[in-house]
Structure 1
Amino acid sequence: MFCPQCGTEQEESEECIACGVVFAKWGRPSSAALESRETASASDDPSVTQIALDEAMVRIRESWEKTPLLPIGGISRREVRVLSDNLARLIRSGVSIREGLMTLANSSSSTVREHLIQINQQLESGASLAESLTAHGALYSPAHVALVHAAERSGKSYEAFESIRDDLDLREEQVRELRKHLTYPGILLVLWFVMAPVGELVTGGSVFSYLVDVVTPILSIWLTWWGVRFALHLIPKEVRAGERLQNLLWLMPLHLGDAYRAHVRANFCRCLSRALSAGLPLYESLRISAEATGDGYTVESAERIRVQIQSGANLSNAMAGTRLIPAGELMSISAGERSGELDQAFDQLANHFRAELQSKLAVTATAVGVVLSAALLLAIASSIVGGYTQALQGSLEQLSPHGQ
């Protein structure tokens, strides 16, 4: 017999000699996907499913690289969040995916409606939901598609869209937190631009010159911001997220590096939990989850973990040789292996890393706000002192005998 978790071949027994999983607790029926109306047209052959998923992940990354030249328009994160939330509600209530897509398409914007109609057509032609989403990178990322694929295998597609909704809610909350901490430095920056040229206006300068002095730096910052975004959109995404940059982010100290690591770990653990609960083999689940993160170090670590498991190590010991999961969190994986609840263990880890990400970003945003505020206050004080010094020197020159 073969262990359903690590794939080790052994004689008939109640638990695996390699990873220690209890078969009676681990074994779960994997035929739920066949009973789901949404996945009735998908292939039942695991090898065919794996090939289709590999091709799907390649297609969605190619779709992500086809970004517009100008960073304007597109589909907002808010609209994708509303779409995911309502689609999860419809599927949970018993509405088929195709019917739910068309229901939401009728009340969506023209851009989203076009995507939903195309997805529905691909479903009609026999593709699975995850495969249909791969050609629409504007809607869902590779990590989100991996969640949908795993949820389809368990016959609970609505769980994937609920997870996507929660993920988008978290990102929106992080953006709001960042904006909140950067509002005060932004106000100081504008006040600096407004107050710095006041001296020349008071001493007889023209109003037009004052307005030019105020508008020019603000316009320069605005043009620089859009210029950087335009330049980034000209660079392929795979170059922007290169392996060297990812390794640098993994090694980066302080809260910025912690936030990136927590982001990758949360996506990895969430996808791995969904894949294991869907009944996918451990090897396949590790690879899918690692590739869904788009992080080169995570993919490399997952391959090393797979090799060590094949050599007889259990999952927690194999992960201990990498930085993928912190040492303090490996106890949850060990307990999950032994109890046969590995999917729940990774789900709890995903929640933990998501909360850690939110905390690190909040601290980082606060630190950035404080640094910017201090720098702007020093600049304003320096400008005021410089203005008074110049005026004082002019007065002294007028009072001096040589000035007369």
Structure 2
Amino acid sequence: MALYQYVAVDPAGKRVRGMQDAANPVDLELRLKRGGLDLISARPARASQLALGRRVRRQELITFFFNLESLTQAGVPLLESLADLRDTMNDPAFRQIIANMIEGVEGGQRLSQAMAPYPRVFEPVHVSLVRAGEQSGRLAEVFGHITESLKWQDELAAQTRQLMLYPAMVLVVVLAVFLFLMLYLVPQLSGFMQNIGQAVPLQTQLLIAVSEAVASYWYLAAGLLAGAAAGIWLGARLMPGLESRIDGLKLKLWLVGPILHKIILARFANTFAMMYASGISILECIAAARDIAGNRVVAASLEQVGRRIEEGKNLTQSFAEVGLFPPLVLRMLRVGESTGALDKALLNVTYFYDRDVRESVKRIQTMIGPFLTLVLGALIGWVMFSVLMPVYDVISRTRF
């Protein structure tokens, strides 16, 4: 079969673009028709398009796995469940992916095999969990685990966005006020201050010099910042060692670094616990957690842990020798190993770090707001003092 890039129309008359496996254009039209789409045009997809693929919003995935859990628990056959989901999903691209999965299952594939060709939609962790559920006969339970994990990830992502968005907004306001003062207000007043007929104070001279520098060289500063960002991005792509150093630096950043570290550890513990509870081996759990770590330093540490376990060392000792994981994680691993409830112990780690991240985000917001407000007040105060001081001197001399 070949992969075609197509343009079709849904029942509401809206154009839909996507990609679909088919033997030929006629077969493609029939497949799209079964998915509720009418084909307009199609052409074979290029290699670059095959690599890019299409992502699906996390909310759509949560709905997908939640409904699968409910339907499976109710005893609805898998093919009927997938057909219902295909007809009810909002995202046309996701509907098409589900239609492809239905064809794969009808052709003799298991659900995990039908999910595997879409790694940008279904993470390898999800595929491994579904495979384990198929082997153990606990698919409904696995769907429930995946749903809860996706919900938790969505909340964690919202907290991370909240952590970055608020300081960024306040910083933008401070920068906008600074540029307004330097590029508009101070130049308007500088002529008056220089023609008042007396020596201009030092702080006023400094203000005028800063304003002139900003007005003359702002584009140079913006270009340097953009060039530095582009250089770092390009260097990280061309030199893997540099990207690892950047990831290590992220974990050491003031205020943000410790929170990022806790978020990564919480994601690791949640993934590990979910997979281990589904009957997946420890080495596979570590490999999956390594792939979704999102930080090369943590991923390299997990790879070292996996090698130590293969050498015959126990889990807690392997994690302790790496040196990246805090005492709380090691203590919970030790308790989980000794009691045989490793998944529950790691869920406790997830709960602890999740709560700690929430509290840390609130603390940072409480600190950053007043701090940046103080910076803004100091900036405005400096400008006003530098402007009003010469005026006050003129008024005082005129009076006496």
Class of the TM-score when normalised by the shorter of the 2 chains: 0.5 to 0.7
Q: Which residue does 1:256 correspond to in 2? A: 256
Looking at both structures, which has the greater relative contact order when contacts are Cα pairs under 8 Å and sequence separation is at least 6? 1
Does the CA-based 8 Å contact 1:123-1:129 persist in structure 2? yes
Supply the distance in 2 between the matched residues of 1:146 and 1:119 (Cα, whole angstroms). Answer: 16
| Counterpart for residue 105 of structure 1 | 86
Cα pair 1:273 1:347 within 8 Å, conserved? yes
Greater mean alpha carbon deviation, residues 123-132 or residues 331-340: 123-132
Distance 2:373 2:83 in 1: 50
Matched, 1:293 2:282: no
Shift of 1:320: 1.3
1:71-90 to 2 correspondences below 5 Å: 75-90=56-71
The correspondence of residues 7-86 of structure 1 with structure 2, limited to 5 A, is 66=52, 75-86=56-67
**Shift in CA distance, 272/392, structure 1 to aligned 2, threshold 3 Å:** same
Give the match for residue 163 of structure 1. 149
Are the aligned partners of 2:235 and 2:242 in contact in 1 as well (CA < 8 Å)? Answer: no
Matches within 5 A, 1:1-400: 66=52, 75-106=56-87, 107-141=89-123, 148=130, 151-153=133-135, 154-155=138-139, 156-158=141-143, 159-176=145-162, 178-179=164-165, 197=184, 242-250=243-251, 252=252, 254-389=254-389
Q: Deviations over 1:205-244 (max 9, x none)?
A: xxxxxxxxxxxx9xx99xx99xx79x97998699699323
State the secondary structure of the residue aligned to 1:313: coil
What is the distance in 2 between the residues matched to 1:66 and 1:274? 29
Q: Note the alpha carbon deviations across 1:148-179, whole angstroms, 9 max, x for none.
A: 55555553331212211222133224434654
CA RMSD of superposed structures (Å): 4.7
Q: Which amino acid aligns with 1:249?
A: K
Bigger Rg, structure 1 or 2: 2
Return the alpha-carbon distance in structure 2 between the equivalents of residues 151 and 238 of structure 1: 40
Following the alignment from structure 1 to structure 2, what is the Cα–Cα distance between the partners of residues 344 and 315?
15
Q: Any gaps of 5 or more consecutive residues in structure 1?
A: 1-61, 69-73, 204-216
Shift of 1:104: 3.3
- Cα distance in 1 for partners of 2:126, 2:338 equals 29
TM-score, structure 2 normalization: 0.60
- The code of the aligned residue for 1:329 comes to V
- 340-349 or 148-157, larger mean C-alpha shift: 148-157
Once the two structures are TM-superposed, the CA of residue 385 in structure 1 deviates from its matched residue by 2.8
CA pair 103-173 structure 1, distance change in 2 beyond 3 A: farther
Deviations 1:169-190 (Å, cap 9, x if unpaired)? 3322443465456656656666
Point out the structure with the larger strand share. Answer: 2
Structure 1 residues 240 and 368: CA distance shift in structure 2, 3 A? farther
Q: Distance in 2 between matches of 1:263 and 1:125?
A: 41
Is residue 189–residue 387 contact of structure 2 (8 Å, CA) maintained in 1? no
Tell me if structure 2 keeps the 8 A contact 1:98–1:120.
yes
Q: Normalising to structure 1: TM-score of the pair?
A: 0.60
Against the structure 1 CA distance between its residues 285 and 137, is the aligned structure 2 distance closer, same or farther, given a 3 Å change threshold? closer
Paired residue for 1:19? none
Aligned length in residues: 316
Counterpart contact for 2:267–2:293, Cα < 8 Å? yes
State whether residues 98 and 123 of structure 1, in contact with CA within 8 Å, keep that contact through their aligned partners in structure 2.
Answer: yes
Percent identity between the two aligned chains: 17
Q: Give the distance between the partners of 1:179 and 1:281, measured in 2 at CA.
A: 39
- 2: CA distance, partners of 1:127 / 1:236: 37
Checking the alignment, whether the CA contact within 8 Å between 1:336 and 1:343 is kept in structure 2 is yes
Q: Report how far residue 372 of structure 1 moved.
A: 2.9
Q: Which runs of 5+ in 2 are unaligned?
A: 1-47, 191-217
Report the 3-state secondary structure (helix = DSSP H, G, I; strand = E; otherwise coil) of the residue aligned with 1:386: helix
- Tell me if structure 1 keeps the 8 A contact 2:333–2:346: yes
